[in-house]
Amino acid sequence: MAQLYFYYSAMNAGKSTSLLQNAHNYKERGLAPVLFTAAIDERYGKGRIASRIGLASDAELFDDSTDFVAWVQAHGGRASIHCILIDEAQFLTVAQVNQLAAVVDDLNVPVVCYGLRTDFMGELFPGSARLLAIADKLSELKAICHCGRKATMTARLSGDGKVQQSGEQVVIGNNDVYVSLCRAHHRAALAGDHAAAKPARIIKE
């Protein structure tokens, strides 16, 4: 039976790499996965999923108006689609996560979502919260803080490199905007210790 999966992490944990590898595995076996990415994210071009290690693929776009049940039905259902792979799943609405559950339960198409669990303030994204609540399988992908501990949080940097302590939940950016931190350094950064978001300078003898 099909299942709903949610792979979550902080930034720079290889979510897109894992998604693209998963898609390759399906195609290698003669199966047809469909990739989706958020229309709001154009860092690598519109309708493009790319990883930091150079893998990339075209993808369908979703926004708040996308109805996943209707889309799958209109494109042949289980007979034509063997898996749905969703990048940037934190941008899904709660209603869309419920739709994806219906794609799994009613149309028997597996759905694998990859996304951030929390925003730069450590608050759950609504889509991620719903996935954590109803996904059949949850898996954390590991990112590393500059101190060497597991990074579970993501901090947002302003133009001068300081950690932002307020602002809109959704701002698109790469490593120049976001940094992955362990909880301790994230707490310190939000408390005003901007150095907590940066690795200590290594002095070579």
Q: Is 56 annotated as a binding residue?
A: no
Q: Is 32 annotated as a binding residue?
A: no
Q: Is 167 annotated as a binding residue?
A: no
Q: Is 16 annotated as a binding residue?
A: yes
Q: Is 57 annotated as a binding residue?
A: no
Q: Is 175 annotated as a binding residue?
A: no
3-state per-residue secondary structure call for 129-143: HHHHHHCCEEEECCE
- What is the spatial distance between Cα 181 and Cα 81, in angstroms, rounded to a whole number? 37
Q: Is 192 annotated as a binding residue?
A: no
Name the nearest CA neighbour of 171 among 195, 153, 155: 155
- Choosing from 28, 60, 88, 140, the catalytic residue is 88
Residue 88 a catalytic site member: yes
Pairing of strands 4-9, 111-116: parallel
- What is the spatial distance between Cα 4 and Cα 110, in angstroms, rounded to a whole number? 6
Q: Is 148 annotated as a binding residue?
A: no
Q: Is 83 annotated as a binding residue?
A: no
* Per-residue CA distances from 189 to 164, 167, 186, 198 (Å): 9, 15, 5, 10
Burial 133-167 (b: 16+ CB within 10 A, else e): eebeeeeeeebebbeeeebbbbbbbeeeeebbeee
Q: Is 147 annotated as a binding residue?
A: yes
DSSP state of 18: H
Q: Is 88 annotated as a binding residue?
A: yes
DSSP state of 161: S
Q: Is 143 annotated as a binding residue?
A: no
In the annotated binding site for substrate, the residues are 170-173, 178
Residues annotated as catalytic (active site), given as ranges: 88
In the annotated binding site, the residues are 9-16, 87-90, 145, 147, 170-173, 178, 182, 185
In the annotated binding site for ATP, the residues are 9-16, 87-90
In the annotated binding site for Zn(2+), the residues are 145, 147, 182, 185
